[in-house]
Structure 1
């Protein structure tokens, strides 16, 4: 499948999720909703694999790495982002997530000994300037009594967890792990880890039977999880984690448009100036040849 097609499908499946998550917040604990989301997604994939008679037997070592992958990218990542959405309008966590392209480049260097090029370092530096401009007040006046500051901090932790998951998946690819089975087990394990977190927090396993909650849960589970991750991880397999992370850079553009229309986002001067700078930096990072990691 063509890389650009993979990119577009991933982008249009993922971008609305930042806004759709808002319909998951309220009666049901956000982390319980994360549990439901990935449990449903994993069940759907397992049904598909059983219908296709694909092998589901793997070694203990495989399952350990499925667990690591699922915990980082389908549990911790979303736990922090769902909570951050209780503090912020949907576009701002998406903007924070755009830093995943820089984290991925640095992660490839740390874990796989890939030295970043001068172009990468320049792009990362420019991207960080964009982030500093957009969130200058929140960064330089950070405190845990300001809900916006807390939301941004949580989103940053979620992004780091997602990038870690990308590195684990790159490792799994290098060891010939099958994509669909990996996603199925990882989503299952991720949902179980999230369930354990909800119980430690003392959350009740409630369910909301409103149309908005069920419809948003279906969207987040199927297009927003199954389709988005299959196509994104396939893209990562073909072009590397650094370039695949470009999805996280373009995604805030659509997220900002959605927030502008549905959440009445007002474009302040720091956002108007900083966002294009962030995009320029990210383009410099991904607009280069990425050697395959072996």
Structure 2
């Protein structure tokens, strides 16, 4: 990833993650969210660790380092993605993706609180603008909550996934500053996230029987290799370069593509509030990424 420029890394994350939200819908129709997450990140983590072995990278770590990697993996790849999969059972994938517009503000404030990284007023203003945009895009769906609990439950899972993912992202940033090597940390983190999801699935008595549907297998490979290995490698590299807050702005741009995909394949029909919210989210993103004069 070192040979790629920052905007290349940003674009890869937005383009791939913007389509993975829809790819997840092919998983939840055949397996439970917990099993789907366990298989996705188990495959992704093993691929990364196998690559590390070929490259001759060190895979052995002290127990305390494994604790840090487990903390990163459980939050960043495990329980947060279980919430994402659960949310997509109740909401269009594009709207679940929109919830991640809150990520940069949460991560930026968390980095300032925990690591002393300075957050500018412009960054906070852009984050608030993005949140307003999120609220506008969600507003029509929240109106449906009066008819049942499905939409409200989807919103709760979305909020949970954003908060848990922010904790995982901050932990990953701390692990990098602690000197843990990039690729082994990524691989072990994904394996620990998969193990956490598997434990939850087994505790609930869920089956790990593999479906025969080609769409499930294709989506699994896409989610594991492109949507996990490639994108998280790009994201964490970008986080090293520009900091956890600014790199989190990927979470503002990704939903825009996800909404388009949701319109094309999931019969989601936006209204004027959706477009107004999207415009505010883009404006907030630009404000957060704008360099000081």
User: In structure 1, what is the equivalent of residue 188 of structure 2?
Assistant: 185
Q: Distance in 2 between matches of 1:136 and 1:217?
A: 32
1:225 paired to 2:225: no
Deviation string, structure 1 residues 254-283 (Cα, Å, up to 9, x no partner):
111111111122111221222211221232
SS for the counterpart of 1:203 is coil
1:100 paired to 2:109: no
Return the TM-score normalized by structure 2: 0.93
- CA gap 1:86/1:275 in 2 versus in 1, 3 angstroms: same
Q: Distance in 2 between matches of 1:138 and 1:10?
A: 27
Which runs of 5 or more structure 2 residues have no equivalent in the other structure?
none
- CA gap 1:86/1:141 in 2 versus in 1, 3 angstroms: closer
Q: Distance in 1 between matches of 2:158 and 2:173?
A: 23
User: In structure 1, what is the equivalent of residue 39 of structure 2?
Assistant: 36
Return the TM-score normalized by structure 1: 0.93
User: In structure 2, what is the equivalent of residue 215 of structure 1?
Assistant: 218
- CA gap 1:29/1:140 in 2 versus in 1, 3 angstroms: closer
SS for the counterpart of 1:69 is helix
SS for the counterpart of 2:187 is helix
Aligned length: 289
1:19 paired to 2:22: yes
- Superposition deviation, residue 133 in structure 1: 2.0
Q: Distance in 2 between matches of 1:159 and 1:45?
A: 25
User: In structure 2, what is the equivalent of residue 72 of structure 1?
Assistant: 75
Q: What RMSD, in angstroms, separates the aligned Cα atoms of the two structures? A: 1.7
User: In structure 2, what is the equivalent of residue 149 of structure 1?
Assistant: 152
Which runs of 5 or more structure 1 residues have no equivalent in the other structure?
290-294
Q: Distance in 1 between matches of 2:78 and 2:94?
A: 21
Q: Distance in 2 between matches of 1:144 and 1:168?
A: 39
- Of stretches 135-144 and 64-73 in structure 1, the one that deviates more from structure 2 is 135-144
Q: Distance in 2 between matches of 1:194 and 1:180?
A: 21
1:176 paired to 2:179: yes
1:85 paired to 2:88: yes
> Are the aligned partners of 1:144 and 1:150 in contact in 2 as well (CA < 8 Å)?
no
- Superposition deviation, residue 288 in structure 1: 3.1
Q: Distance in 2 between matches of 1:149 and 1:181?
A: 38
- Of stretches 263-272 and 77-86 in structure 1, the one that deviates more from structure 2 is 263-272
Deviation string, structure 1 residues 86-138 (Cα, Å, up to 9, x no partner):
11111001100121111111111111123432212322222222222222355
- Of stretches 106-115 and 227-236 in structure 1, the one that deviates more from structure 2 is 106-115
Structure having the higher helix fraction is 2
SS for the counterpart of 1:98 is helix
